[in-house]
Amino acid sequence: MKVFKKLASYVGSYKKSAILSPILVMLEVIMECAIPAIAGTLINELSTTEGKIDLARVAIYCSVLICCALLSLMFGALAGIQCSKASCGFAKNLRTALYNKSQDFSFENIDKFSTSSLVTRLTTDVTNVQQSFMMIIRTAIRAPFMFIFSIIMAFTVGGQMAFIFVIIVPILLFTLIMVAKKAMPIFKKVFKKYDTLNNSIQENVQGMRVVKSFVREEHEIERFGDASDDVKNDFTRAEKILAFNSPIMQFCMYSIMLSVLFLGSYVLIQTTGNAFDVGNFSMLLTYGIQMLMSLMMISMIFVMITMSIESARRICEVLDEESTIKNPENPVFEVENGDIDFNGVNFKYAKRAEKYALDGIELHIKSGQTVGIIGGTGSSKSSLIQLIPRLYDVTEGSVCVGGRDVREYDIEVLRDSVSVVLQKNVLFSGTIKENLRWGDENATDEELIHACKLACADEFISTFPDGYDTYIEQGGTNVSGGQRQRLCIARALLKKPKILILDDSTSAVDTRTDALIRKAMREEIPNTTKIIIAQRISSVQDADLIVILDDGKISDMGTHDALLEKSKIYREIFTSQTKGAKMA
The answer to whether 506 touches 514, Cβ cutoff 8 Å, is yes
| pLDDT (tens digit per residue) in 432-446 | 999 999 888 888 989
Residue 457 CB: number of other CB atoms within 10 A?
28
User: Which tops the pLDDT comparison, 253 or 65?
Assistant: 65
Residue 583 is predicted with a pLDDT of 44
Residues 78 and 279: their CA atoms lie apart, in Å, by 32
Residue 188 is predicted with a pLDDT of 67
400 falls in which pLDDT band (50, 70, 90)? very high
Strands 418-421 and 499-503: parallel
User: Taking residues 85-103, what's their average pLDDT?
Assistant: 90
Indicate the helix (H) or strand (E) that contains 491: helix 481-493
Residue 273 is predicted with a pLDDT of 54
373 falls in which pLDDT band (50, 70, 90)? very high
> Lowest-confidence range among 140-154, 179-193, 367-381, 456-470?
179-193
Residue 70 is predicted with a pLDDT of 92
Residue 369 is predicted with a pLDDT of 92
Burial of 438 (0-12, 13-18, 19+ CB in 10 A): middle
Looking at every residue in the chain, the average pLDDT score rounds to: 82
Residues 516 and 455: their CA atoms lie apart, in Å, by 8
Does residue 305 carry a pLDDT above 60? Answer: yes
Residue 402 is predicted with a pLDDT of 92
Residues 401 and 407: their CA atoms lie apart, in Å, by 10
Q: What is the pTM of this model?
A: 0.69
282 falls in which pLDDT band (50, 70, 90)? confident
In three-state form (DSSP H/G/I as H, E/B as E, the rest C), the secondary structure along 521-579 is HHHHCCCCEEEEECCCHHHCCCCCEEEEEECCEEEEEECHHHHHHHCHHHHHHHHHHHH
Residue 162 is predicted with a pLDDT of 67
Of 151, 146, 148, the C-alpha closest to 162 is 151
Does residue 65 carry a pLDDT above 50? Answer: yes
Say how far residue 191 (Cα) sits from the centre of its chain: 13
Does residue 110 carry a pLDDT above 90? Answer: no
HSE-up of 558 (CA within 13 Å, CB side)? 14
Residue 584 is predicted with a pLDDT of 46
The answer to whether 436 touches 443, Cβ cutoff 8 Å, is yes
Residues 254 and 260: their CA atoms lie apart, in Å, by 10
Alpha helices in 159-277 (DSSP H): 163-206, 208-213, 217-242, 245-270
| pLDDT (tens digit per residue) in 527-581 | 899 999 988 888 888 899 999 998 889 989 999 989 998 888 888 888 887 765 4
Of 392, 385, 401, 361, the C-alpha closest to 492 is 385
Sheet of 396-401: strand order equals 358-365, 340-347, 396-401, 404-405
Q: What angle do CA 113, 118, 119 make, to 5 degrees?
A: 150
Does residue 25 carry a pLDDT above 80? Answer: yes
Strands 545-550 and 499-503: unpaired
Report how far apart, in Å, the C-alpha atoms of 112 and of each of 126, 256, 307, 393 are: 20, 53, 24, 15
Amino acid at 418: V
Residue 340 is predicted with a pLDDT of 94
The answer to whether 540 touches 546, Cβ cutoff 8 Å, is yes
| pLDDT (tens digit per residue) in 492-501 | 888 888 999 9
